[in-house]
Amino acid sequence: MDAKSIKQERSLVLLKPDAVARGLVGAIIGRFERAGLKIVAMKIIHPTPEKAAGHYSGPDEWIRGMGKKTLDSFEQFGMDVNEVLGTEDPFEIGSMVLSWLVDYVSSGPVVAMVLEGVHAITAVRRMIGFTIPSRAEPGTIRGDYTIDSNTISSLEKRSTKNLVHASGNVEEAAQEIAYWFSPDEIVSYKRTDEDVMF
């Protein structure tokens, strides 16, 4: 791998309906741009439930992982997950969370974008913070702009409102970018500060 390929790493980012409805799009995008990430594709759409479901069609391990996070949160607060959700099975809980996610992402407009830059995937994930906003560090997007938790959202039978989705790795980024954008929607250009930054 050479330096140019590292500079060209790309991540898909979705600003979810709560970010759009709360008028946080500009503030969030500004953070990415100030960090040196380049927007190479962007659009606003209102996803159908089918489009949202296609985005979240991850492997069983991913669904089980979402269920495990929910179980951990219930345990942390000494709550009986079986009483609230009717099961303790991580996959069943993850499947519930998945259906709530689809409802959430399809509930309003979403800003989809492709960010490009040095270690873009890691940089974006670090900037947005932990998936569960109540556990996100101050200074991260989720830590600064929201405080929802998966315990509260599970009690209310809804998805955790966490403002942003970002690709988790190179393979996921490639799949997600291809899912939301056609190749002709992605542009190439040079920012005026690239020579100073890199």
Two structure tokens written together for 41: 């594709």
Edge-to-edge strands, sheet with 164-166: 38-45, 110-116, 10-15, 164-166
CA dist 76 to 66, 72, 79, 81, 151, Å?
Answer: 16, 6, 8, 11, 9
Q: Residue 131 has which token pair?
A: 């998936």
| Tokens 């405080």, residue located | 147
Tokens of 89: 């099975």
Our answer to whether residue 46 is catalytic in this structure is no
β-strand partners of 116: 10, 38
Which entry of 46, 55, 119, 165 is annotated as an active-site residue? 165
Task: Count CB-CB contacts under 10 A for residue 23.
Answer: 8
Cβ atoms of residues 185 and 112 within 8 Å: no
Per the document, the length of the chain is 198
Residues serving a catalytic function are 165
